[in-house]
């Protein structure tokens, strides 16, 4: 089997600078590439866009960003919806919407379950990100988005499917909405930052302190953040994960399924122990301050 193009996108590296978005705009605004794509409209189209996701609640809040684009699916719904060969799947894995054959075929836009195809009202054609096929065919090894990205979010690889599956397993890669069965060629690393939940908390304890009042030493206790406490997460009595608190007494356990139930947290440190039970909703959860006793 011949090698095919895949795009690996690392969500953890994206900081929403949107240089990739601008690179795609720069490549296609006002530029026709016959056989690949007609010029993109000056406004409205987002062939490569950034999705934002906030997780957690004060004081433990995260914001993450995910580039989204045409997935160049092996079982592409747009190809099935097209007439007269208006959409074709190349041998190298890239999906191309022919800018001439697709004239008037708005059903191609509606067929994409990812919302990655835009309608050009002026030209009356559907359009999507072409994986910079015109540049790759000219000898480029990177797309414009990958070339422009300052944080290394994108990685285009042309490999055989068996090697791509090895990379998937080795790097924990996932695709968007696998239940659709479209078999995308855009793979995401650290996708859990967008699709799964974390649980976290802060650990404190009363520790001895000595203060000097009128020249006399007086014993007292103060509440301090506890570093190095062990945190164990169990579900229905089975251990799922464990971690330790940082120097601020904070901890976090990630990759939990939204809407899951039956959790127990057990925190153990030199100053004592803390236990609580909880169920997880659709969002990440901050369990608050946990005092060892």
Give the pLDDT band (50/70/90) at residue 249. very high
Pick from 37, 17, 18: which is nearest to 27 by CA?
Answer: 37
Structural domains of the chain, with CATH: 4-195 (3.30.70.20), 197-291 (2.60.40.10)
What residues form DSSP beta bridges with 267?
231, 274
* Cα–Cα dist 131/139, whole Å: 13
Residues 42, 29: contact at Cβ < 8 Å?
yes
User: Which two structure tokens, joined as six digits, stand for 204?
Assistant: 């404190």
The tens digit of pLDDT for each residue in 11-57 reads: 999 999 999 999 999 999 999 999 999 999 999 999 999 999 999 99
The tens digit of pLDDT for each residue in 116-136 reads: 999 999 999 999 999 999 999
Consecutive H or E run containing 199: strand 197-213
Q: Is 283 helix (H, G, I), strand (E, B) or coil?
A: coil
Give CA separation, 181 vs 2, 77, 113, 235, 275, in Å. Answer: 22, 10, 11, 30, 42
Give the per-residue pLDDT at 231.
Answer: 98
Is pLDDT above 60 for 212? no
For the ranges 98-112, 120-134, 210-224, 272-286, the lowest mean pLDDT is seen at 210-224
DSSP secondary structure, 10-67, as one string: EGGG--S--HHHHHHHHHHBT--BTTTBPPBPSSS--SEEEEEEEEEETTEEEEEEEE
211 Cβ partners below 8 Å, 6+ apart? Answer: 217, 218, 220
* 75: Cα within 13 Å, side-chain hemisphere: 6
The tens digit of pLDDT for each residue in 145-199 reads: 999 999 999 999 999 999 999 999 999 999 999 999 999 999 999 999 999 999 9
CA–CA–CA angle 38, 128, 178 (5° rounding): 165
Instruction: Name the pTM for this structure.
Output: 0.91
Q: What is the mean pLDDT of the chain?
A: 95
* Cα–Cα dist 194/258, whole Å: 11
């Amino acid at each position: 089997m011949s090698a095919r193009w895949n795009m690996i996108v690392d969500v953890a590296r994206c900081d929403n600078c949107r240089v990739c978005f601008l690179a795609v705009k720069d490549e296609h605004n006002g530029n026709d590439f016959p056989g690949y794509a007609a010029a993109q409209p000056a406004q409205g189209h987002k062939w490569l866009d950034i999705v934002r996701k906030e997780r957690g609640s004060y004081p433990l809040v995260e914001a993450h960003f995910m580039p989204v684009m045409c997935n160049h699916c092996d079982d592409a719904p747009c190809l099935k919806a097209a007439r007269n060969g208006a959409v074709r799947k190349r041998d190298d894995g890239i999906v191309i919407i022919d800018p001439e054959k697709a004239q008037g075929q708005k059903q191609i836009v509606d067929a994409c379950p990812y919302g990655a195809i835009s309608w050009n009202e002026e030209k009356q054609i559907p359009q999507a990100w072409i994986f910079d096929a015109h540049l790759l065919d000219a000898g480029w090894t990177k797309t414009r988005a990958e070339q422009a990205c300052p944080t290394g979010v994108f990685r285009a690889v042309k490999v055989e499917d068996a090697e791509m599956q090895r990379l998937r397993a080795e790097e924990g890669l996932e695709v968007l909405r696998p239940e659709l069965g479209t078999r995308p060629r855009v793979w995401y690393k650290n996708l859990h930052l967008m699709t799964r939940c974390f649980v976290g908390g802060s650990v404190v304890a009363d520790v001895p302190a000595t203060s000097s009042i009128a020249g006399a030493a007086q014993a007292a206790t103060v509440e301090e953040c506890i570093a190095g406490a062990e945190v164990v997460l169990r579900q229905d009595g089975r251990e799922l994960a464990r971690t330790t608190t940082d120097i601020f007494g904070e901890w976090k356990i990630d990759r939990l399924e939204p809407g899951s139930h039956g959790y127990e947290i057990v925190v153990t440190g030199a100053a004592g122990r803390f236990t609580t039970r909880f169920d997880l909703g659709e969002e990440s959860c901050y369990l608050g301050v946990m005092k060892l006793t």
